[in-house]
Structure 1
Amino acid sequence: MPFLEFSNVDYSYPSGDDGYIQALKSVSLAVERGEFVALVGCNGSGKSTLARLANGLILPDYGVVSVDGKSTAEKSNLYEIRKKIGVVFQNPDNQMVTTIVEDDVAFGPENLGLPPAEIRERVDWALDCVGMRDYATSGPTRLSGGQKQRVAIAGVLAIKPELMILDEATGMLDPDGRKEVLDVVTRLNRKENMAVVMITHFMEEAAQADRIIILDRGGVTADGGRELFQTPEVFTRAGLDLPVYVRVAQRLKSAGADIGCPLSVQDFVAQAARAVKGGGERRD
């Protein structure tokens, strides 16, 4: 049984004069425990709507969203569902509720009614996970954007969810801040076996995931592993650009170079160097 499952889900937003805008159309997908999934698509493709449906912040107009076999439509399930799925949104300032970092991270566990000793343990663990223990008594206003987002992730981690959804969580960050967050998320997935759904429009981030789902105008148009980058048309049809290093690698390959599909700039440099040492000709 999948941990998170969407079955033929539709969702529409009201749009003046009794009209509606359909955000999701017949969406079916599943996320297993421990998976690292990238959900990509242009603005308006339905990505954020899917995130809010996943833990019952909104409910589908049609179809079923279930978490660990429990439907989000049943109010009695929502408490458990929201303990199992944590969502980190784009602007970390909107998620800060206190003036001290450690108090902010403690907010979730306190609302779960956990004993003080366990809350302390969870706060320390979560801050260690994101590398922010040294800032426990700092004020969030003194932190950089990347540091604030790491604190926001720690606040979700302290609930100890089984799945973390990052809804454009790196969208407002500079390259260094994006790398900080991506490093944390990747480590949590690999070392803590936490399932991750990273909603992003940065294809470099998507390339780090084990699986990529493409949303376009409210529907799933592709769902597969990193090999999707070898079929660029599935991205361009959805209005998405491949990473520059992937496009360059494709041109080199078409020119006869023995090069595969790199998953990072470093991977591209290594593959290109091997191709040059091998004489540059592809060996089929």
Structure 2
Amino acid sequence: MLNGLRHLAIMSVVVLSGTLTVSVPLPAAANSLTPQQAVDQGVAAAAEDGVHQHVALVDRSTGALVASSGGDTQVISESIVKLFTVAYYLVKYDGTLPSAMAADLHEMIVHSDDRIESEYWTTAAVPAMAARYGLAHTANGAKTGPHDWGWEYITADDEATFLYKASKDPIVGSFLMDAMANVASVGSDGFDQDFGFNSLSGDHGSKQGWTDRNTSAAINIHSVGWTDKYFGAILETSDSPQYDAMRADSTATADLIDGLRSASDLAAARRASLAQAEALTAAIRTAITGRIAQLHTATIDVLTAAGLLD
């Protein structure tokens, strides 16, 4: 008889335990990539096409470098150097350019006009701007000369940093950002500029660079610019001409960047997820504590009814 009553008491615990449920929302799954994940995904996809991407992102609100892949690798600048030329003259004229020069330099960015760059080019531009903005790996190249530009050395990290610092520069920022925000879809030489950051909608700006067409050598396709959250650089090299593939890969990476949440939004999402997890833990702890109390009471009742307890 005693064994049967003990079995009944144990069964009451099992039955009550089986009814425990906790109705607390689980932490929401992440609905976006981190900046580094987006960059890595773009770089990996480009590599499948034989395209080497060097990418960096800087948070527009803080200036912090938040993602980089090959970001310290020096590559040939191509027409990206025109940004330094514009910044150089803006500094030289303390932000107030002669009207003719202002029109020329704005046009040079919008349509990447080589004739205008050749007219204003000076080998002093890149070293001066690298020093002004602390760009450790940006410099004139071995082939740079008084009449030969586009061979300068740049990196993705430096370019993203340059855009952030130039945007905050009261002498440079307004003019340069306006020109980049109005880059045309076709360059002055007929080259399709509708790729990378220039392919985006909404808040964006860009400067594109490319190796002249009709070459059999290694080529470069670059896009630097911004989204509503990040300044970025997508610098591409390839061992053989494949302009269409490189433009498409640049655009794919820019799209990934454009879809990112800001660093502050990501931090807020992580905090919310942690809070949900803590709430779930607390709810489970409370439910278990309550259920244990019920089980204890039920067990006492069973044992008392059986005469095993007074």
TM-score by length of 2: 0.28
Higher helix proportion: 2
Q: Which has the higher contact order (CA 8 A, sep 6+)?
A: 2
Higher strand proportion: 1
Larger Rg: 2
TM-score by length of 1: 0.30
